[in-house]
Structure 1
Amino acid sequence: MHGWIIRYLIENQDKDIYQKDIEKHCSIGRSTVTNILQLMEKKGLIRREAVPNDARLKKVMLTQKGLKSHEGIEQLIMELNHQMIQGISEEDLEIFLRTTRALRKNIEKNLKFKSGENREGGCPC
């Protein structure tokens, strides 16, 4: 979960990100996000800064340590991806990717239907 939040912060570094944004993006509850952010802050991956006009809001920002952590994770993912696709043809990879995208789309539609929500985006969980 830390990796997804770090990636979300990197992808949205041009915006102010608050806890509620992470809750919505990852489709998880406030108390869960609070616990995750507290742990990430304790590990030095993020910092939270109070907003001057609203003491209830805290802006979530990535630290240098968090950025370095992301770079390490990205490198590991690239290496694992390379190892996984060795010996698999481009055609087979395309079929696999097209099929998994269709499966994901079906699952997301079903989840939205069951929950009565119409949410876009979200963590790749």
Structure 2
Amino acid sequence: MEKDCGAWINLLSHKVKKRLNATLWDLDITAVQSRVIYYILAHYQETPVFQRDVERVFSLSRSTATGILQLMEKKGIIRRESVASDARLKSLVPTERAAELDAQVRACLRETERMLTRGLSDGQVQLFKEMAAQMSRNLDNWENQTVSCPPADTTH
């Protein structure tokens, strides 16, 4: 049976996470933690980064993001700092450890991307990104509608 788009995306996601987790094992971080580190380091100097930003960017539930960030805090990768305008808000600030991990994380992500796209032209990679972005928008639109899966077709 031929795989549908969702099956291919799931397979690729699983393989990328597995490979990244194996590569990052020695650094004591996971694939998702590496991407969160990368995101925080790329944005925290321009504007405060909050947990809700991590939830939105990575499409994580509040509880999942909380668990990831608490573990990163425990490992000394980030710290939470109160914001002057609202003491309830805590911005996510990278520590020296995050800065030390940055070069290795970037190298690992670049190598993963290189291996993932090996044998593909720049045009094919660009087309894939455009198609994946459209599929993501399709799912977002579907989420915003009260549409469920259609009933099974029982007429064979």
TM range (shorter): 0.7 to 0.9
2:51 aligns to what?
19
% identical aligned pairs: 29
Structure having greater relative contact order (Cα 8 Å, sep ≥ 6): 1
Alignment of 1:1-125 (within 5 A): 1-13=32-44, 14-81=46-113, 88=119, 92-116=120-144
Shift of 1:65: 0.6
Structure 2's unaligned 5+ residue stretches are: 1-31, 146-156
Mapped contact 2:117–2:125 kept (Cα < 8 A): no
Distance 1:52 1:77, change over 3 A: closer
Q: Which moved more, 1:61-70 or 1:77-86?
A: 77-86
Query: Distance between the aligned counterparts of 2:57 and 2:115, measured in 1?
Result: 30
Larger Rg computed on CA atoms: 2
Shift of 1:77: 3.3
Distance 1:102 1:48, change over 3 A: same
- TM-score under structure 1 normalisation? 0.74
Query: Distance between the aligned counterparts of 1:5 and 1:70, measured in 2?
Result: 11
Structure 1's unaligned 5+ residue stretches are: 118-125
Shift of 1:3: 1.6
Shift of 1:104: 0.5
Query: Distance between the aligned counterparts of 1:82 and 1:102, measured in 2?
Result: 18
Query: Distance between the aligned counterparts of 1:64 and 1:111, measured in 2?
Result: 38
- TM-score under structure 2 normalisation? 0.61
| Residues 40-92 of structure 1: per-residue CA shift (max 9 Å, x gap) | 00111101112345332111100111122121021233345556666x4xxx4
Query: Distance between the aligned counterparts of 2:96 and 2:125, measured in 1?
Result: 34
1:123 aligns to what?
none
Distance 1:62 1:80, change over 3 A: same
Distance 1:94 1:66, change over 3 A: same
